[in-house]
Amino acid sequence: MQFKFSDEPLEKVVADLVVVLAWQRVKDKKDKGTAALQKSDGGMALDKYLGGLLSKIIKEEVFRGETVTRKLIYTDGKTTARAVLVVGLGKEADFNPNVLRKVGAKITEAANEVKARSIAGIIQPESLKKFAPQARIQALVEGFLLGSYKFEQYKKEPEPDTFNEVVFIAKSGKDKIEGAIKRGSIIADGVILTRNLVNIPARDLTPDIFAKKAREIATKQKLGCTILNPKQIADEKMGLFLAVARGSENEPRFVHLSYKPAGKVSCKIALVGKGITFDSGGYDLKPVRHMLTMKCDMAGAATSLAVIKIVSEFKLPVALDVYIPLTDNMIDAKAEVPGNIIKSRNGKTVEIISIDAEGRLVLADAISYALERKPDVLIDVATLTGGVLYALGEIYTAALGNDQKLINKYLAAAKGEDEPAWQLPLAKEYKKGFTEGPADLRNMGKTKADTIAGALFLEEFVGEDVKWLHLDTAETAWANEERNFTPVGGTGTTVRTLVRLFSSF
């Protein structure tokens, strides 16, 4: 998608559609509101130029200006553009940049519906509800790009979108606008990278293929990159990781990427992403209906790869190390079975109660490896437990950890990015059953609080010397229905939130 600039008035700018935004103005709580055109984005002036056409249709067709509602109004040749698209912002009190992400996606949808190639709109130079123009433009750009996303690379004849150009009308501040466009594009590209990796079928994204993609990104971004093969993984004594990998004909890989800023380091961060490239459940075989989306079980790995790419492009002052254990969880004569006891990298032994609780096994060894580099903060991202669906549903990511300030910062970042998250307790009462049996630990306890139990198992490998945050995205990494600017499939969730969090360190 191209982004251009113009200083022409709305009625003369060269574009297929011009866009104006409208508030939902209400008189009282019972009033459903009326759309109110703005002076600052040229809506009122354009309406006057058109002889009141916009306000007339808004009134006659009862357009209220509710959030992301839209009204397409043809101008019968009175403007260079063939139509005006009026998009609702909702109530002023509820406005924030997340509204503009949704607006950007809705504009994309409307433009494609009428086969418009380009749209144009005025960028008002002053802050709007305390949000500077740069923040608003970045949000719009993210909405345009994420709203345009389709995963169609396996279709014989993908349906092309016509909409591919945005014209920003601005009298000044071009440099700042270009910076906001670049920032929004980098964020959107990272989310799209995550979505694409999650959506690719497992046969086309084996551990080795993923590792090669990671190396390509590392080379381009000038990141440190180490990729361990099975022998090297064994040399690192990652017994739990290798136990999961035993059942697959695809060799495992362990990827370590590192980014260091040019100047002073504000924080040393370790980010661990679960990379199960397909999860059959092993000998605890999943039902077919649950297995269908298990190519998604590497979403944490995809997220981590996207985040370090964005962090390096933004040149944030943090030192970021990303650790990605990659393997399938399959059935084979060599695959581990329940009751087997495996030694972990940190020396603790683990009795396998369920091989379908494999994510915590590979993460445990990856966390032990990461901690030896002495990070200030450790964060793991994982599609870890099906139980998070019953705890929080499909919209909220579960956040657990050992440092309340870190959790609070993450929750604030998630709210700011409209990627809902909710804290669950690390309740020690749910450790029951983990330490029973012939090994130091079992990989499953007796509690039905599955999401909390998964985090409690990981805590055994984290210790108390590092600030730790665990994110369970088992239900938020994949969308079964379209919502906002997220289609069915991989969502790219937590990418924006983690970048926002790291920007605050």
The residues that are catalytic are 286, 360
CB 25 within 8 A of CB 31: no
CA distance linking residue 125 with residue 180, whole number of Å: 13
Amino acid 296 reads C
CA distance linking residue 166 with residue 217, whole number of Å: 28
CA distance linking residue 85 with residue 361, whole number of Å: 52
For residue 272, what are the CA distances in angstroms to 164, 182, 368?
Answer: 36, 27, 11
* DSSP string of 139-185, one letter each residue: HHHHHHHHHT----TTSSS----S--EEEEE-SS-HHHHHHHHHHHH
Please identify which residue in the block is written with the tokens 């970042």. Answer: 413
Nearest by Cα to 276 from 309, 248, 256, 235: 248
CA distance linking residue 327 with residue 101, whole number of Å: 35
Kindly tell me the sign of the dihedral angle through the C-alpha atoms of 23, 27, 33, 34. negative
Six-digit token string for 418 = 């409209």
Q: Which residues, in sequence order, are CB contacts of 311 under 8 Å at separation 6+?
A: 259, 318, 320, 499, 502
Instruction: Tell how strand 118-122 and strand 165-169 pair up.
Output: parallel
Q: Is 223 exposed, middle or buried (0-12, 13-18, 19+ CB in 10 A)?
A: buried
CA distance linking residue 453 with residue 457, whole number of Å: 6
Nearest by Cα to 459 from 446, 470, 473: 470
3-state secondary structure of 359: helix
CB atoms under 10 Å from CB of 154, counted, come to: 10
Nearest 5°: phi and psi at 399?
-120, 125
